[in-house]
Amino acid sequence: MVFASISFLFVFLPLFLLAYALVGARWRNLTLLGFSWIFYAWWRPDFLPLIVSIAVWSWGTGLLIQRAGARQRRWALLAGIAWPLLALVWFKYANLLHDTARSIGVPTGAWQAVVLPIGLSFFVFGAISYAVDVYRGTVAAEPSFVSYATYQSMFGHLVAGPVVRYEWVAERLRRRAFHAAEFAVGVERFMLGFAQKILLADTLAPLVTSGYQLMSPSAADAALTVLAYALQLYFDFCAYSSMAIGLGLMVGLRFPENFDAPYLAGSLSAFWRRWHISLSSWLRDYLYIPLGGSRQSLPRGCVNLLVTMALGGLWHGASWTFMVWGLWHGAGLAAERLWRARRGPALPFWAGHAVTLLFVMAGWLLFRADSWGEVSTMLAALGGAHGWAMSSAFAAALRPNQLACLLGGIALVYLPAAWPAGHARGHALLRYLAVPLWLVSVCVLQGRTVVPFLYFQF
């Protein structure tokens, strides 16, 4: 089940909100947990025991970490992250390792492809951060399994993030009251995210697919395809994050913002402070800093960046193209750090922004490609191997509404910088347009096949 579906909007969500409103405060977490497990089982009930087992294991080992003596705490921590991490490695990377071994001639025998449970990466990262935070003393272990499992399994962030840390919701898991104003804001956020997903991201999706299916794309075809994908990915995931935040507010849970106008960044490091904030901060706090961060020598700090981003790339998908995408960004961040360390001249904002945007867009080419063949085809196209002007095939695939989304998407990206007052007024106007935009989106959804959120695959 996805948020942008009739079954969720008119069956699951109303039944959940009704049940949640009827139960007393004591039973709210249990109600939320039960519906969250139903939500997950709607996709594949046979994978529900996996996430339940990870929740049970993480909750139990969290208590063990807190109660263990000084010598045993590290072993308890390793035990706490072992099962979630092993589950992630097996379900997400077994196929990649098998295919890689077979491609270099290693005999592998008969093999049945392993199915990746949706949302497993987000679920596992939540379990790891909880175990580490209990070990560090940042949070106290949760004594109630229902409360902990509710944090892990809440359907708002269960299948596509953001990466929610226990400390962000711990207090409200224990006690929270219904606030009509907060609920209303949650409904607005959900409706606006829904409209953004349907009207912008899903409208651009067929254009991106058409561009990547061209056998001999021109430079204009490839450039517009990469631009369309950059906007599709941003509006798709930003929409999901907004809907998740809205659903959280409806039940009294506050999730932090996950995007902060990333395409307006003037440097690559600023981009990563603004893009998928919950993941980038997770990688910083639970991988980069434990590796040594920037506390050691400059070369070692650059290596730490490369390792962190390479693993972050692999987290996004079981493909070597994702790891190269991570290394691409790691190399860019390292180069930026070296430039600053050697006191290179500061670039004007417009120049830094242009370089950052081109760098990020080139990275999206790797991120979207399904194979190295697609990467080479698009790179050759951008170099003019098949001409520079838009091809007739791509022109035929480009619909007026898609062109409007391209232009409108660019305008939405730059409006906060170009007209801050207009952006603020736009936010106020959107509050009044939430319901009409949602109704239009529901009507549009009726004529489309449901398009899953792009981050479901991660």
Cite the active site residues. Answer: 316
List the beta bridge partners of residue 385.
387
Q: List, as one string, the DSSP characters of 150-210.
A: HHHH-TTTTTT-----HHHHHHHHH-----HHHHHHHHHHHHHHHHIIIIIIHHHHHHHHH
Whole-angstrom CA distances from 306 to 122, 161, 275, 314 are 22, 24, 18, 12
The CA-CA-CA angle for residues 417, 349, 265, to 5°, reads: 60
| Phi, psi for 64 (deg, rounded to 5) | -65, -40
SS3 385: strand
> Cα dist. 216→244, 373, 380, 385 in Å?
40, 12, 9, 8
Q: Other CB atoms closer than 10 Å to residue 357's CB: what's the count?
A: 17
CA-CA distance, 148 to 169, in Å (whole number)?
10
Is the peptide bond preceding residue 345 cis, with omega within 30 degrees of 0? no
What length does the chain have? 458
Q: Using alpha carbons only, what angle is made at residue 289 by residues 283 and 295, rounded to the nearest 5 degrees?
A: 145
CA–CA gap between residue 129 and residue 290 (Å, rounded): 13
- Long-range contacts of residues 371-380, Cβ cutoff 8 Å, at least 24 apart: 371/321, 372/321, 374/212, 375/321, 377/215, 377/217, 378/212, 378/217, 378/222, 378/225, 378/226
161 Rama sector, left if φ>0, alpha if ψ -120 to 50, beta otherwise: left
